[in-house]
Amino acid sequence: MKTVNIGLCGLGTVGGGVYAVLKRNAALISARAGSNILVSHVGTRSINPRCVTASTKISRDVVQISEDPDIHIVVELIGGTSAAFDLIMSAIRNGKHVVTANKALIAERGPEIFVEAEKYEVIVAFEAAVAGGIPIIKALREGLVANDIHWMAGIINGTSNFILSEMSSKKRKFQEVLEEAKEKGYAEADPSFDVDGTDAAQKLAILASIAFSIPLNTKSIFKEGIAHLQPRDIEYASELGYVVKHLGIARQKPTGIQLRVHPALVPASCLLSSVDNVLNAIMVDCDALGSTLFYGRGAGSEPTASSVIADIVDISRFVTTSNVSGTRPLGVKFADIKNKKILPIEQIETCYYLRFSMHDTPGALSKATSIMAEIGISIEAIIQKEQPLGIDYVDVIVITNSIMELHLSLAVRKIEQLETVQGDATVIRLERLDQV
């Protein structure tokens, strides 16, 4: 049986998981790959000797791995977009296939990497870049290849999902849960990319590019985080039969493509509503299959290692047969990736949850509903909460039917200007996920 030599760059959380799973399931993986998968060279700044065998070469400079003539596949798990880019480009130019879990690098510099890989006839695989152990890249690019994909909506950041799950089930405040997430290792010391939507936007860019054959583009994605969400809005949503989730949404419409990351109310009956803690899930709707859900652990050492090793095995099959994979990184030839109109957030149409605080005086509510009627906003439900003891205003909750965001924003501005309304209104988009 031929040996496929792996250069493992990075022996942190994911790298350690890859090494451990390859060692534990060596016979099973080799049988499925048709070759002996061997980590023969490791690149890491700090090394625990117990993690590698005596025969494994160790380098402090990961570029040395990309130049090692015995290495067939370079696995990039060092993170970041600078040194990782240099490593991958060096590996490609030295004729090495590449596996990476680096969603930021693929989302931001994927086109450069893929063009270079095509030039040198090597494979760049990145299943672990989105949703950890969930094989969503392969599903979109291969399993659903016969389908016209209408839309995708997913919980693709475990940190945000953990925070919202805790806020919902235990009525806790955002900052309190965020600190717990840091303590448990679910959030980084600086959790900005997780809670402001950046991480989810990078992942959505990759999914949308494969699903709709559009260029990788994070700049056109609308993103909104979760730090502003109040426990009372999550509680009100629950009373109305909804759950608040932080979603990445990509949807094809006749007028263009929607790409957005933001909190959203989803019906409690929707499959995504029950995805809690740090789990991920992506719902895909397409013409032949209909709707399907991909669910599982979206991060962590061994779940992510599962996807990394799946890519290693795929590539090893081509290494041993001397054939370059016919699977394109983004599903189609670069010439078939076309720019399509990305709709600005003002032009999207969806339903909305609207809450504002109003003095409980005769005729006050009718003025607000008249503003919405004049703009053409259809109201599905309106609820006036009980007046708190000693407070002269009440919360009013409105659920709208589908309306263009531009019109909803106009109505909100006018409502906020009413003398009877106190403070700013709260707006959360509502996604039923049952329509194309």
Could you give the residue numbers annotated as active site?
203
Largest CA distance in the chain: 84
Contact 367, 404 (CB under 8 A): no
Candidates 231, 226, 230; CA nearest to 247 is 226
CA–CA gap between residue 367 and residue 378 (Å, rounded): 15
Q: Please spell the DSSP secondary structure of 82-113, one letter per residue.
A: SHHHHHHHHHHHTT-EEEE--HHHHHHHHHHH
Class of residue 105 by CB neighbours under 10 A (exposed 0-12, middle 13-18, buried 19+): buried
Contact 42, 59 (CB under 8 A): yes
Length of the chain: 436
Class of residue 27 by CB neighbours under 10 A (exposed 0-12, middle 13-18, buried 19+): exposed
Establish how many alpha carbons lie within 13 A of residue 8's alpha carbon, considering only the half-sphere containing its beta carbon. 29
CA–CA gap between residue 31 and residue 14 (Å, rounded): 23
Distance from CA of residue 38 to its chain's centroid? 31
CA–CA gap between residue 104 and residue 137 (Å, rounded): 15
Residues paired with 112 in a beta bridge: none
CA–CA gap between residue 272 and residue 270 (Å, rounded): 5
CA-to-CA separations, 429 to 102, 188, 355, 398, in angstroms, rounded? 30, 27, 12, 12
Candidates 225, 204, 220; CA nearest to 107 is 204
Q: Please spell the DSSP secondary structure of 221-282, one letter per residue.
A: -EE--STT--HHHHHHHHHTTEEEEEEEEEEEETTEEEEEEEEEEEETTSGGGG--TTEEEE
CA–CA gap between residue 429 and residue 249 (Å, rounded): 12
